[in-house]
Amino acid sequence: MCIKTLPTVDGVPLLIPFSLAAITMAAASFGALPKDMLGGLAVIVGLGMLLGPLGNRLPLISRIGGGALTCLMIPSLLVYLGAFNDETLAAVTLLMKQANFLYLVIAVLVVGSILGMHRATMVSALVRIFPPLVIGTAAAIVAGLAVAMAFGYEAQRAFFYIVVPIIGGGVGEGVIPLSAAYASATGGVAGDYVAQLMPAAIIGNIVAIASAGVLRRLGERRPELDGGGALVKSGARPAVASAPPEDSDAPASIALGVLTVCGAFVFATLLEHLVHLPAPVLLIVTAVVVKLVGVVPVAVERAVRAVYSVIARHFIQPTMVGLGLVYLPMSSVVGVLSPGYVAACAAVVLAMVSAGLLVGRLIRMYPIDAALVTVCHSGLGGTGDVAILSASDRMNLMPFAQISTRIGGVCTVVSAAALIRVWQ
């Protein structure tokens, strides 16, 4: 059979990524997989090129998240079943955690999105994301408590162990500080509370990803509700929606774009020590300020958009594989699965989606995009934002998603830590 007649992925015969992924897995089984970025990238890119197209072709999965959901859930399930050896997981863990590949992806998406926006549209969107976020959070609390109590949960238990971890901003920014606060207020060991909080956060994130896929389908059927990544109905669309034109300066431009993104994140990390806010939030503030002031040369903006285009087009699904392997412990979910528990978690997320749609429409935002930003509050921090926006094909909403997740999460954690001392 001629290789040109085989199924293709992005124009490449499927046999090629399949063979390279097989070689990577074979190397891992013989203990020859490098425990560094090379080994980690070989694993996640190989699996991402195979699982992503598979998810986009499956009859039901393709309608509720497609490749993003497949790339996230199948690796997590395989880890739970023991399909990956320690060599493979060590290489991916080093890439995703020690080398912080996830934050590189988020930084590129944030800076690239902001520098590609129209100034007036950006300001209007930043102001308007808070009403659906606040109302969505209130709706999520009410819905989560109502459904959980209908299944026999006590209100206190439902609030602190189902609702709060879902809207707490992820693991590092939500579950971990919440567990410490709960242990301090009620006694016990923080690690025990982590085990109780994680399942709700994970199930909520899965429901949010599926909801994002459904919202994307709704936008295809009702284009008047869909801004394609633009939040405010102003007629302007995000400039980063298409790739920059090819030219002879492309290699130098990409190098400059990488330097700009990394330099911006390093600057945000420096500010973190001075103003004691998370670096990802300060990265957004920095990018917004320089965009508003207009000090970034056109050549630099084009360079950052070039890097954005590469990451958004080719590295999101591999990143999802890395998240599934390292950040999504399926074992935490399996032990607590019950109809009532899942229904309560789903109610929290669906209430946020509904609030985003309704409030967004009332204040002249694109309802689908407003709902996507709002539902990011129920994701697993930066991990969840990447997954949700990948399922909806809205990576240019990353700055607003980060605001929803980070600010919403911080407010939730602080409020819950104070409330648990009086409501026990």
pLDDT in tens, 235-264: 544 444 344 444 444 455 889 999 999 999
Q: In sequence order, which residues have a C-beta less than 8 Å from that of residue 160 and are 6 or more positions away?
A: 182, 416, 420
DSSP state of 13: E
- Looking at every residue in the chain, the average pLDDT score rounds to 86
Q: What is the mean pLDDT of residues 394-415?
A: 87
The position carrying tokens 């990577």 is 24
Interatomic CA distance for residues 318 and 10, integer angstroms: 14
The 3-class secondary structure across 116-165, one letter per residue, is: CCCHHHHHHHHHHCHHHHHHHHHHHHHHHHHHHHHCCCCHHHHHHHHHHH
Residue 51 and residue 186 in one domain: no
Q: What is the mean pLDDT of residues 2-18?
A: 70
Interatomic CA distance for residues 206 and 73, integer angstroms: 9
Residue 317 and residue 183 in one domain: yes
Residue 87 and residue 125 in one domain: no
Residue 107 and residue 22 in one domain: no
Q: What is the pLDDT of residue 208?
A: 93
Interatomic CA distance for residues 423 and 126, integer angstroms: 34
Of 129-138, 211-220, 320-329, least confident by mean pLDDT is: 320-329
Contact 334, 288 (CB under 8 A): no
Count of Cβ atoms closer than 10 Å to residue 142 Cβ: 14
Query: Among 98, 114, 144, where does a domain finish?
Result: 98
In a domain, 87, yes or no: yes
C-alpha atoms less than 13 angstroms from C-alpha of 103 in its C-beta half-sphere? 16
Q: What is the pLDDT of residue 330?
A: 84
Task: Give the SS3 label for residue 169.
Answer: coil
What is the number of domains present in the chain? 2
What is the pTM assigned to this prediction?
Answer: 0.81
Give the pLDDT confidence of 172-230 residue by residue, as tens digits: 678 878 888 888 888 777 777 877 888 898 899 899 999 999 999 999 999 999 988 88
Q: What is the mean pLDDT of residues 16-36?
A: 90
Q: pLDDT class for 56, splitting at 50, 70, 90?
A: confident
Residue 74 and residue 172 in one domain: no
In a domain, 321, yes or no: yes
Residue 155 and residue 55 in one domain: no
Q: What is the mean pLDDT of residues 16-33?
A: 90
Contact 207, 269 (CB under 8 A): no
In a domain, 32, yes or no: yes
Domain that holds residue 32: 8-98
Residue 82 and residue 195 in one domain: no
pLDDT at 232 exceeding the cut of 70 = yes
Residue 229 and residue 86 in one domain: no
pLDDT at 340 exceeding the cut of 70 = yes
Residue 88 and residue 106 in one domain: no
Interatomic CA distance for residues 206 and 11, integer angstroms: 30
Q: pLDDT class for 344, splitting at 50, 70, 90?
A: very high
Alpha-carbon separation of residue 92 from 46, 73, 153 (angstroms): 12, 16, 38
Interatomic CA distance for residues 140 and 135, integer angstroms: 9
Residue 133 and residue 74 in one domain: no
Residue 28 and residue 171 in one domain: no
Query: Among 53, 81, 98, where does a domain finish?
Result: 98
